[in-house]
Structure 1
Amino acid sequence: METLVTDKVSTFPTRYARGWHCLGLAADYKDGKPHRLDIFGTRLVAYQGEDGALHILDSYCPHMGADLSTGEVRGNELVCPFHHWQWGRDGKCASIPYCKRIPPRARVKAWPTLEQNRLLFVWHDAEGGAPDPEVEIPRIDACFSAEWTDWMMRKMVIQTNCRELVDNLADLAHFGPVHGSPASYFCNTFDGHVGYQMFQGEESELLGSGLRADSAYFGPAYHVTRMSARTGGQTVDTLLLNCHVPIDQNSFELRYAIKVKRVPGLSEAENQAIAEAYAGQAHKSFFQDVEIWHNKIRIDKPVLCDGDGPVYQLREWYEQFYTNVADLPAPSRKVFECKAGTWRQLDEVPEQARSQLHLI
């Protein structure tokens, strides 16, 4: 299919993506202590103030360079360990213990934050723009429902550029060789800031039969999958979280989490056993990808064949998060479907690929 190969994508810029980035479970930051974050090529600090909200600031004190993440939380302020200058949640210096006059330039950057789906997010924009309300992280009702288990999360560091992870959204061909889960149906839709994938497979070595995985990137770094498969005589419904935050251009923090829908009629102990067993299988499947990422390099212009799918179109979609807002093209939607090993570009999303993510 000719439209699947193009030279429009250039080498990646050195900036980091514009959008919301997930920092893991919000509860992990609500202990009254500052938390160090080595991300976006710098160091930040996250903490909960007495107002109950989570705040994120640049971590290096502009006074004499001390690391605020080694200080302490006092009320809604962060106290520098070096000279005890106190920094408010807005980034302004609130007090200096040995001086009444606060210099007008005494401020650090305060980063926009968001709590959603029991998770903490931070907004990054190389141009310094405020969060775009059009790209807010959607609520997942399952995260607030007793019908589902809590997130079971793992964190790791991957030593490559984070784009290598995003490529998986369009990489149909790896499911068989890497996961033992060949696809019987596959569809990608790139629609504004959301990139969708619909995957269906008859049999998976690790995850069961009749596998259906309906997933989406909401922005550049937050990926959610609604998955269903039959295993051990039960149909297991799961939610998978796959999100990343760049440490620098050659490494990123990766958080992978799963929650499982409880089976009606089973005891809590039985449901927990099913959830933990399936989470173990899902983690094992995911680590098959991790092993690849740990050992690969970045190829900016890969040599593709007809069966590889819309890898270049995915990268064109992904480039929007590295492009100045004023230079962004008008939003568009592109649909690519693979049936019986043949790719084609469509004008509309086919019924078989209609997203069910709104049901979560």
Structure 2
Amino acid sequence: MSTQGYKIESRPPQARFARGWHCLGLAADYRDGQPHRLDIFGRRLAAFADSAGNIKIIDGYCPHMGADLSTGTVQGDNIACPFHGWQWGGDGGCKSIPYCKRVPPKARIGSWTTCEQNKLLFIWHDPQGNAPPPEVAIPRIEACFSDEWSDWALDKMLIHTNCRELVDNISDMAHFGTVHGAPVDYFANLFEGHKGTQLMIGRSARLSGDDQLTALSTYFGPAYHITEMSGRMGDQPIHSILLNCHVPVDANSFELRYGVLVKRVPGLSDAQNRAMAQAYVEQARGAFYEDVVIWDSKIRIDNPLLCEGDGPIYQMRDWYGQFYTDIESVPPGSVERRKFELNVAGIEPPALHHVFEG
């Protein structure tokens, strides 16, 4: 016989995908002259580059007889259907039919808004069909265009859980020590508008040796997450930028891309810099994948039982909920400026503390 304990609430994820920009990896990967299959947002899409190199994304199934356009061919500015050769442009319109002079007026499929920034491709998703407002534009990272930094080193994997588990990490202070062996001295969150920011000061034998590890990370919307991190590899200080982005496949899985930029160390050869950058990438990647092991076996919990040493999980989820709500119905409190601070070790507020002022 067991006694009654805390009752876990676990509701199915809502059948809706977040409003916002979602990263699809390196833009250059889509400029190979081939169509690319995308299984995201609960549907099949097809991506391709037109004759000017502009990347277009359209609905993936031909409405003529249902063929998968991502298995077709790119011909000029269009994708040609592999079944009957109907050609579809990046605007979703049918441009020609090889055996018919007249294109039916209804011959149109969905087209998707895209943008490129930081050498990455993004797709805009909004269940209401609204265009992206200017204030949510992806900010430029100068390091992506500087010879002083390495190129992106990207990994892609399919995670079999709802993407909220990943986003929870921005406020889950306590897991750094337990999962990653990186105890935290200082931890803060700032939520305002479409941005959710974390400032973490701690220690990590893998990423900073005996020195302090400083990480400033921000979600720009629901799915694009950038971290600026200062650590150490041996005796050498290392400055890195981490990309942690996802696109939902369905309610219970998401496609994750994890990438790292590393600042080149003056005085080292190109080969030495590449070797050091790759070693640091592998250390950072290994630390991140420790989370994946947890997600593989945990359950979804909507009412987590928290203690005073936990981060603001409920407040973070309130902020995150805006992306699953019609824009006109978002509660003002979900997007107002809110700051939370846990000075675990009682240290002097770090130099980056100014980010949270105002």
With structure 2 as the length reference, what TM-score do the two structures score? 0.92
**Which residue does 1:61 correspond to in 2?**
62
Contact 2:14–2:251 under 8 Å retained in 1: no
Alignment of 1:4-19 (within 5 A): 12-19=13-20
Of the candidates 334, 341, 359, which is equivalent to residue 338 of structure 2?
334
**Which residue does 1:282 correspond to in 2?**
284
**Which residue does 1:298 correspond to in 2?**
300
CA distance in 2, matches of 1:18, 1:353: 30
CA distance in 2, matches of 1:123, 1:281: 32
**CA shift for structure 1 position 12:** 4.6
**CA shift for structure 1 position 89:** 1.0
Indicate the SS of the match to 1:317: helix
Of the candidates 242, 261, 264, which is equivalent to residue 262 of structure 1?
264
**CA shift for structure 1 position 11:** 7.0
Superposed CA offset, 1:169-226 (max 9, x none): 000000000001011000000011000000001x213112210000000000000000
Task: State how many pairs are aligned.
Answer: 341
CA distance in 2, matches of 1:351, 1:191: 21
**CA shift for structure 1 position 329:** 2.9
Partner amino acid, structure 2, of 1:310: P
Contact 1:111–1:122 under 8 Å retained in 2: yes
**Which residue does 2:6 correspond to in 1?**
none
Indicate the SS of the match to 2:290: helix
**Which residue does 1:6 correspond to in 2?**
none
**Which residue does 1:176 correspond to in 2?**
177
Unaligned 5+ runs, structure 2: 1-9
Partner amino acid, structure 2, of 1:286: F
CA distance in 2, matches of 1:136, 1:329: 22
**Which residue does 2:354 correspond to in 1?**
354
CA distance in 1, matches of 2:275, 2:235: 14
**Which residue does 2:191 correspond to in 1?**
190
Q: Which region of structure 1 is more displaced relative to structure 2, 242-251 or 131-140?
A: 131-140
Return structure 1 stretches of 4+ with deviation > 6 angstroms. none
Alignment of 1:22-101 (within 5 A): 22-101=23-102
Superposed CA offset, 1:68-113 (max 9, x none): 0000001111100111111011000111111122111111100000
**Which residue does 2:315 correspond to in 1?**
313
Matched, 1:210 2:212: yes
CA gap of 1:145–1:352, structure 2 versus 1, over 3 A, is closer
CA distance in 2, matches of 1:45, 1:81: 13
**CA shift for structure 1 position 351:** 6.4
**CA shift for structure 1 position 321:** 0.4
Q: Which region of structure 1 is more displaced relative to structure 2, 237-246 or 330-339?
A: 330-339
CA distance in 2, matches of 1:10, 1:324: 20
**CA shift for structure 1 position 276:** 0.8
Indicate the SS of the match to 1:298: coil
CA distance in 2, matches of 1:46, 1:341: 49
**Which residue does 1:5 correspond to in 2?**
none
Partner amino acid, structure 2, of 1:207: L
**Which residue does 1:110 correspond to in 2?**
111
With structure 1 as the length reference, what TM-score do the two structures score? 0.92
**Which residue does 2:5 correspond to in 1?**
none
Contact 1:160–1:296 under 8 Å retained in 2: no
Q: Which region of structure 1 is more displaced relative to structure 2, 270-279 or 219-228?
A: 270-279
Contact 2:187–2:344 under 8 Å retained in 1: no
Identity rate, percent: 60
CA gap of 1:218–1:332, structure 2 versus 1, over 3 A, is same
CA distance in 2, matches of 1:310, 1:124: 27
Contact 1:66–1:80 under 8 Å retained in 2: yes
Contact 1:188–1:335 under 8 Å retained in 2: yes
**CA shift for structure 1 position 63:** 0.9
Q: Which region of structure 1 is more displaced relative to structure 2, 222-231 or 9-18?
A: 9-18
Alignment of 1:150-161 (within 5 A): 150-161=151-162
**CA shift for structure 1 position 308:** 1.2
CA distance in 1, matches of 2:25, 2:251: 20
Contact 2:124–2:132 under 8 Å retained in 1: yes
Unaligned 5+ runs, structure 1: 1-8, 343-348
Of the candidates 247, 251, 254, which is equivalent to residue 253 of structure 2?
251
Superposed CA offset, 1:238-259 (max 9, x none): 0000000000000000100001
Partner amino acid, structure 2, of 1:15: R
